[in-house]
Amino acid sequence: MNETLKLLKSHQSIRKFKEDPIPKAFIEAIIDAAQMASTSSFLQAYSIISIGDMAVRSEIARLSGDQKYIVSAPTFLVFCADLHRLSLACKKQGVPYESGYAETFIVATVDAALAAENTIIAAESLGLGGVFIGGIRNNPKRISELLKLPDEVYPVFGMCLGFPDHAPGPKERLPKKVVFHEEVYKDADESVMDAYDERIRAYYIERTHGKKSESWTESISEKIAHETRDHMKSFLESKAFNRK
């Protein structure tokens, strides 16, 4: 296995960090790598905001379900889908711009996600670790106000980065044949899912010393079966995203 594959296979979310700050040269290299992610039609429809102000960080942590590592991480980034800059480009060219398409909402969100994945991979390659923070979408309106996001910019997720102070270990993913289909889509065999469920249950029991013992389907059904962040539709529309 080459070094890149080894790095990708060893990914694990890090939620405990040493106090050491991330050297500036590392941040530069990481953001350079983020910017080299593929981007739909070369639109580069995202922005990354680094939050150094600890009062703002504390407020973001509070708004994101009290996730303490938002404060304890040496670096905290917010990845935004950004169509605002594209509207300015059209203005510069004197071309009428129409906002609100579902398609451009997808484009900008995917662009932000691709840049973020490059970010965490680049960070891990430098011996850092991190975790995405979707929790910022618990209160996207307040977060947008704090970060002074204009219309057509919305916070997709945050990311904590720093030198790891624990090693929870990689989490086993679904069996390849469950997510990788040949020619046409096919549901996984029940026995394959049953076996995976039991392996994840065993993983949680070991990792949490018995405090958590859910299988994969138990854990995800609890998360996905109910309304999740049902404020997002009206919030996105209020920021001129996904109106048509």
| Cα-Cα-Cα-Cα dihedral sign, residues 202, 203, 205, 206 | positive
> Among 225, 50, 55, 241, which Cα is nearest to 140's?
241
User: Interacting stretch for ligand FMN, rule CB under 6 A, among 24-32, 34-42, 75-83, 130-138?
Assistant: 130-138
Shortest CB 13 distance to ligand FMN, Å? 3
Cβ(27)–Cβ(84) below 8 Å:
no
What is the per-residue binding string for ligand FMN in 184-213, x denoting contact by CB under 6 A?
A: ------------------------------
Structure-token pair, residue 54: 């600890």
Q: Is residue 11 at the binding interface for ligand FMN, with CB under 6 A as the rule?
A: yes
Distances (CA, A) of 147 to 52, 164, 176, 212: 12, 27, 40, 36
Q: Is residue 12 at the binding interface for ligand FMN, with CB under 6 A as the rule?
A: yes
Q: Is residue 44 at the binding interface for ligand FMN, with CB under 6 A as the rule?
A: no
User: Interacting stretch for ligand FMN, rule CB under 6 A, among 9-17, 21-29, 40-48, 86-94?
Assistant: 9-17
- Bridge-partner residues for 130, per DSSP? 161
With CB under 6 A as the contact rule, the residue among 39, 47, 67, 139 that binds ligand FMN is 67
Cβ(152)–Cβ(159) below 8 Å:
no
Scanning residues 13 to 42, which ones bind ligand FMN (CB under 6 A)? 13, 15
Cα separation of 38 and 36, whole Å?
6
Q: Is residue 48 at the binding interface for ligand FMN, with CB under 6 A as the rule?
A: no
- Measured from the CB atom, the residue of 23 and 65 that comes closer to ligand FMN is 65
- Measured from the CB atom, the residue of 11 and 141 that comes closer to ligand FMN is 11
- Cα 226–chain centre separation: 21
Amino acid at 236: L
- Measured from the CB atom, the residue of 192 and 220 that comes closer to ligand FMN is 220
Scanning residues 166 to 185, which ones bind ligand FMN (CB under 6 A)? 171
How many CA atoms within 13 Å lie on the side-chain side of 92? 6
DSSP element (H, E) containing 192: helix 190-207
- Measured from the CB atom, the residue of 174 and 188 that comes closer to ligand FMN is 174
Q: Is residue 133 at the binding interface for ligand FMN, with CB under 6 A as the rule?
A: yes
Q: Is residue 129 at the binding interface for ligand FMN, with CB under 6 A as the rule?
A: no
Q: Is residue 150 at the binding interface for ligand FMN, with CB under 6 A as the rule?
A: no
Query: Hey, is 214 helix, strand or coil?
Result: coil
Q: Is residue 87 at the binding interface for ligand FMN, with CB under 6 A as the rule?
A: no
DSSP 8-state assignment for residue 164: B
User: Would you tell me which residues interact with ligand FMN (CB under 6 A)?
Assistant: 11-13, 15, 67, 131-135, 157, 171
